[in-house]
Amino acid sequence: MGDSVTGKKVLIVEDDMIISMVLERMIKKLGHEVVKKVIAGQDAIDSAFELEPDLILMDIQLKDDIDGITAMQEIREKSDVHVIYITGNSDQYNLERAKKTDFVDYLVKPIQMSHLKKSISKAFAEQIS
């Protein structure tokens, strides 16, 4: 894999199609591959196990009854994939819940390219010695 932070496989979990497309464009611009975009918690769990991404961009509010944090708790049982949460509001309750899933970053919408880039670098920083 070399020691660069390029070419990571990213799973996008976001129920807003516009935001999802914007995130996909940013990820590609940063040199990574979007392996799948899903809108529901259960799909996020299934896709994480099936596709084994390097990174998940996880919206907290999702289309089904499993929110992003619950989905991540489930994924954590079998995977230590990096996760960056995306949220419309940074309330303390969800932040506390998210901490238990060992996340890389917690970004509040609207997502800026520079923030996303920084978060992704942070995720894979330990691989750049």
- The string of pLDDT tens digits covering residues 36-87 is 999 999 999 999 999 999 999 999 999 889 999 999 999 999 999 999 999 9
* Alpha carbon distance 53, 80 (integer Å): 10
Cα angle for residues 76, 77, 79 (degrees, 5° grid): 55
* Alpha carbon distance 24, 7 (integer Å): 14
Residues 84-108: what's their mean pLDDT? 94
Question: What confidence score (pLDDT) does residue 93 get?
Answer: 94
